[in-house]
Amino acid sequence: MPLKPPDNAKCPKCGRSVYAAEERLAGGHKWHKTCFKCGMCNKMLDSTNCAEHEGELFCKVCHARQFGPKGYGFGGGAGCLSMDTGEQSQEGSVSAANSWQAPNTSCIQAKEGEGCPRCGGAVYEAEKMLAKGRVFHKTCFKCRACSKFLDSTSHCDGPDRDIYCKVCYGKRFGPCGYGFGLGAVCYGKHFGPKGYFGATLTTDDGDDQYLSNKPNLISSTTTIMAEEGEGCPRCGGAVFEAEKVLAKGRLWHRKCFKCCECNKTLDSINACNGHDKEIYCKTCYGKKYGPKGYGFACGSGFLQTDVMPNEENDTQRPSYAASRDYSKIKPTNPGDGCPRCGGAVYEAEKMLAKGSVWHKTCFSCASCRRPLDSILSCDGPDREIYCKACYGKNFGPKGYGYGYSPTLISVTGESTAPLSQNIEGEKAPEGEGCGRCGMKVFEAEKMLAKGRVWHRRCFYCSDCRRSLDSTNTNDGPDGDIYCKGCYARRFGPKGVGYGIGAGALQMIQ
């Protein structure tokens, strides 16, 4: 007995079998997904907006129009009389759905200059489209050449006060010639100049005649010369906005903005302004204007010999004679140059110390010539800069405990750091200098006590000359500083119980 396949449900719309992958259920029937639409307006339906009536599907609007209640109060609002049965859309539902046409408002003429520029009719708010301060009908808002419907993102205003799509605008008013069409050999046919433009011959009949000897024309703005001092510093051509690059107040072409030495293309991050008013990459700038000598190569260390005298140390150090003499380039304003050599200081080699700018090559210790940076440098009272070791030797406190020998602790109360009698330095204004010597106090040696500043070498007890710090300092009523023992002897309570042991009488004056 032959095998019979099971009978599948038939779609009420088309009468064909409905399989599980495409079935839709409504009113106890199975429908194809493509057949699941309104029988009057052909609107696609789903399970939330379908209504079934005698094997036909309707949307809720058409179902109410066809089979809903009629009469007074069942229209669009209260008090309306609705007698619409939908008969106008029963004959040929597809043609009825697509047969609607917008009313022709061009017959309603507007005042001169106030209507639609295309048809002259009055334009109402529901159909208004704006372009360059003029209002169009939605049906009139289309390309003048190809009649393509436009919107606010795709229309272009032509010089003839009409609107075009982007393609037609480019054909009519865009640049014409070789390289300005859809490909590299297209040209403008309608409104472009006739004859040579690039490497294509444009003729009135619209055919491209490629020549065997194409003229070798280069599109370059360097041929458009600018006035003296206003063009690109490299080529002298006029610089337009689309290709403008700025460097130190001067305008450059983007293709001219490259290193003078290696022709590397530059930008605002890796460009360096040279002393000759040219621009360099960082590598070429360092080779030409950077510091020279031992310690300024790729990974070389500098030579430091603290055990030798300065004269012998200078003879052992590699020569810096190869470096350029920056002192020959004088600054514009006196006093703005490098304090060491007096030359002008540029941005790429600027080093800051106490409000003055230095060359990188000059930013070295005044005693041992060691190259410094912002962490290692110390400002001396003689307006020079030193490394920390040389600053300590020249201006630091002297005596036991302040050199390379072990610290000697005094048990008798005598000073371990006697004050030097010959104090050199800059005298400070009254009330602003060191509380002990009156000299000017710099940041590297500043000590604070009760709102006054002291040198580190002067920050010791007034009686026993013991060096102090912020943990064992006592401010006396006489404006001086003391250690705890001396402060107690001078200003502490006297009498029984305040001496060395209980019951002792201390009357030391």
Through-space distance between the first and last CA atoms of the chain, rounded to whole angstroms? 137
Neighbouring C-beta atoms of residue 343, cutoff 10 Å: 20
- Provide the H-helix boundaries in 296-403: 310-316, 388-395
- Provide the H-helix boundaries in 272-334: 282-289, 310-316
pTM value surpassing 0.75: no
Distances 131 to 121, 147, 398 between C-alpha atoms, Å: 16, 16, 86
Residue 44 CA to residue 49 CA, distance in Å, equals 10
Stretch (H or E) spanning 23 = strand 23-26
321: Cβ contacts below 8 Å, ≥ 6 apart: none
The 8-class DSSP code of residue 50 comes to: E
400: Cβ contacts below 8 Å, ≥ 6 apart: 407, 408, 416, 417
Digitized pLDDT (tens) for each residue of the chain, 509 residues in all: 566 666 778 888 888 888 888 888 888 888 888 899 998 888 888 888 888 888 888 998 888 888 888 766 665 544 455 566 666 555 444 444 445 555 666 667 777 878 888 888 888 888 888 887 788 888 899 999 999 999 888 889 888 888 999 999 988 888 766 555 544 334 334 444 443 333 333 344 444 444 344 444 445 666 788 888 888 888 888 888 888 888 877 888 888 999 989 999 898 888 888 888 899 998 898 888 887 765 555 444 444 444 444 555 455 454 444 446 666 788 878 778 888 888 888 888 888 887 788 888 889 999 898 888 888 888 888 888 999 889 888 888 766 555 544 444 444 444 444 444 455 667 888 878 888 888 888 888 888 887 788 888 899 998 888 888 888 888 888 889 999 889 988 888 877 666 554 444 555 55
CA pseudo-torsion sign 304, 306, 311, 312: negative
Which two three-digit tokens encode residue 201? 């011959």
The full set of domains in the chain, from first to last, is 9-69 (2.10.110.10), 105-161 (2.10.110.10), 310-395 (2.10.110.10), 426-509 (2.10.110.10)
Which two three-digit tokens encode residue 160? 């003839």
Which two three-digit tokens encode residue 339? 């304090």
Give the 3-state secondary structure of residue 314: helix
The two most distant CA atoms of the chain are separated, in Å, by 137
